[in-house]
């Protein structure tokens, strides 16, 4: 028996273009007092990063698959296929790297190997939607002598910041390293520089604050004014808005606002509804605020953007956008008053009306959500083990 442990030094969340570093430890778990016949011989071990794509057949009409690439990968026992046994298509992968060859471990002995690879910058972000899924994994394959290949898969989360694809790492030719022993240090500098650049761009895009006012009206008049200080956010931030109902001519009885994502299949890949297809647009609510607001002059709300959610993105097959979805309940009666009179000559019993004729309408305000720092997006340590 062999135990393989893969540990990500910084957690499982990365920005596309960053370098992933992983320490792979191979151990013979038998006690050192075991006989020499209990030593384990390993032929080789390799590691590779890949992105697996899967689409819902009821929502997405994909071209006929290539006969050479079946939807379920074959269960090959002699070839290192990181996506073996998984549904969908492998749309992106890094070159496989060999960790070791011809390794023999005595009882209680262990060996550690370092794996480093830059996450492809041209790929989609990690996403698990109702129509499509993009899933990143680091797969480590290991084969014992005269045994089938065993795979260890470490799930990754990849965030994509648009615009970094066109940025080049600055090189000073006068001091450019000429020794191969300096390549690792140079790679670390590039990774740090990329993270710093991404942080600066995110800060510049999300720190601008300017009050935006929107008049909210239905067919009978003005309901109120909605104010928001910015329209671009990062994962983990709060969307704060104010609603002024004191200027309205139509009484608002209740309102709700939902922070939603809209997943939309691109027109050329939409499945026709008449052919049994599901809707090509789906919405997911991440936070919601509801309030009864009759006789309320001004109110506010705060909706947190979950760190675990996916920023907006667009691929050839699907797009994901964020929005604030408002729903208003207004009175049809002009000048509606549901409070008891302030002055009465003698005590009276007052009850509000049992029924009020109302209208409802909705309004959507698009917002933009960008990634955050990968260190903030890490929810758990990237450590997986298998035996």
Residues 192-216 pLDDT 10s = 667 677 778 888 888 888 999 999 9
**Between these two residues, 266 and 278, which has the higher pLDDT value?**
266
Q: Please give the mean pLDDT across all residues of the chain.
A: 82
pLDDT at residue 338, as a whole number? 59
Report how far apart the first and last C-alpha atoms of the chain are (Å, whole number).
7
Residue 315 has pLDDT above 80, yes or no: yes
Question: What is the pLDDT at residue 177?
Answer: 43
Query: Which CATH number applies to 212-334+357-370?
Result: 2.60.40.640
Q: Is the pLDDT reported for residue 186 higher than 80?
A: no
What is the rounded distance in angstroms from the CA atom of residue 166 to the CA atom of residue 363? 37
145/30 Cα distance (integer angstroms):
18
- Looking at residue 60, the DSSP 8-state letter turns out to be B
Q: For residues 84 and 151, is the Cβ–Cβ distance under 8 A?
A: yes
Q: What is the mean pLDDT of residues 13-22?
A: 91
CA distances from 239 to 224, 287, 364, 365 (A): 19, 10, 14, 12
CA distances in angstroms from 301 to 132, 137, 227, 296, listed in the order given: 32, 38, 11, 14
Instruction: Give the pLDDT of residue 34.
Output: 72
Name the CATH code of domain 3-60+78-160 (choices 3.30.160.40, 2.60.40.640, 3.50.50.60, 3.40.190.10). 2.60.40.640
**pTM for this prediction:** 0.81
Nearest-angstrom CA–CA distance, 170 and 173: 9
CA 12, CA 157: separation in Å to the nearest integer?
6
CA distance 313 to 123: 11
Nearest to 278 by CA among 149, 115, 134, 132: 132
Same fold, 3-60+78-160 and 212-334+357-370: yes
On whether the CB atoms of residues 324 and 365 are closer than 8 A, the answer is yes
pLDDT range class, residue 102, cuts 50, 70, 90: very high
Whether the predicted pLDDT of 79 surpasses 70: no
CB 260 within 8 A of CB 325: yes
Q: Which pLDDT band, with edges at 50, 70 and 90, does 308 fall under? A: very high
pLDDT above 50: residue 173: no
Q: Indicate the domain borders of the chain.
A: 3-60+78-160, 212-334+357-370
Between 167 and 309, the higher pLDDT residue? 309
10 phi/psi in degrees, rounded to 5 = -120, 10
> Do residues 362 and 328 lie in contact, with contact meaning Cβ atoms separated by under 8 Å?
yes
* Portion of the chain with pLDDT greater than 70, in percent: 79
The confidence band for 66, taking pLDDT boundaries of 50, 70 and 90, is: low
């Amino acid at each position: 028996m062999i135990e393989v442990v893969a540990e990500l030094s910084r957690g499982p969340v990365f920005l596309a273009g960053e370098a992933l570093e992983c320490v792979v430890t191979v151990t013979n778990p038998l006690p050192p007092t075991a006989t020499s016949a209990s030593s384990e011989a390993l032929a080789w071990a390799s590691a590779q990063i890949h992105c697996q794509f899967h689409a819902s057949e009821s929502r997405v009409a994909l071209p006929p698959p290539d006969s050479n690439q079946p939807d379920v990968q074959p269960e090959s026992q002699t070839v290192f296929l990181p996506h073996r046994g998984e549904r969908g298509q492998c749309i992106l992968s890094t070159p496989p790297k060999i960790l070791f060859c011809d390794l023999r471990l005595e009882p209680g002995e262990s060996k550690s190997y370092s794996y480093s690879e830059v996450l492809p910058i041209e790929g989609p972000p990690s996403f698990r939607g109702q129509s499509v899924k993009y899933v990143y994994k680091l797969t480590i394959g290991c084969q014992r002598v005269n045994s089938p290949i065993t795979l260890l898969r470490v799930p990754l989360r990849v965030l994509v910041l648009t615009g970094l694809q066109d940025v080049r790492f600055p090189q000073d030719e006068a001091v450019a390293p000429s020794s191969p022993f300096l390549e690792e240090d140079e790679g670390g500098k590039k990774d740090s520089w990329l993270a710093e650049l991404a942080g600066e761009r995110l800060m510049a895009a999300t720190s601008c604050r300017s009050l935006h006012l929107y008049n909210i009206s239905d067919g009978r008049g003005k309901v109120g004014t909605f104010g928001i200080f910015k329209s671009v956010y990062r994962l983990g931030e709060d969307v704060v808005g104010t609603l002024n109902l004191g200027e309205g001519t139509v009484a608002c009885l209740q309102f709700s606002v939902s922070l939603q994502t809209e997943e939309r299949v691109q027109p050329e890949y939409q499945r026709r509804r008449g052919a049994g297809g599901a809707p090509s647009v789906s919405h997911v609510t991440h936070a919601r605020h509801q309030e009864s607001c009759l006789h309320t002059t001004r109110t506010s709300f705060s909706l947190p953007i979950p760190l675990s959610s996916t920023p907006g993105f667009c691929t050839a097959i699907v797009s994901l956008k964020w929005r604030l979805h408002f729903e208003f309940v207004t009175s049809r009666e002009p000048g509606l008053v549901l409070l008891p009179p302030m002055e009465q000559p003698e005590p009276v019993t007052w009850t509000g009306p049992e029924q009020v004729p109302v209208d409802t309408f909705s309004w959507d305000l698009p917002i933009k959500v960008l990634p955050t720092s990968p260190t903030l997006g890490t929810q758990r340590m990237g450590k997986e083990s298998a035996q």
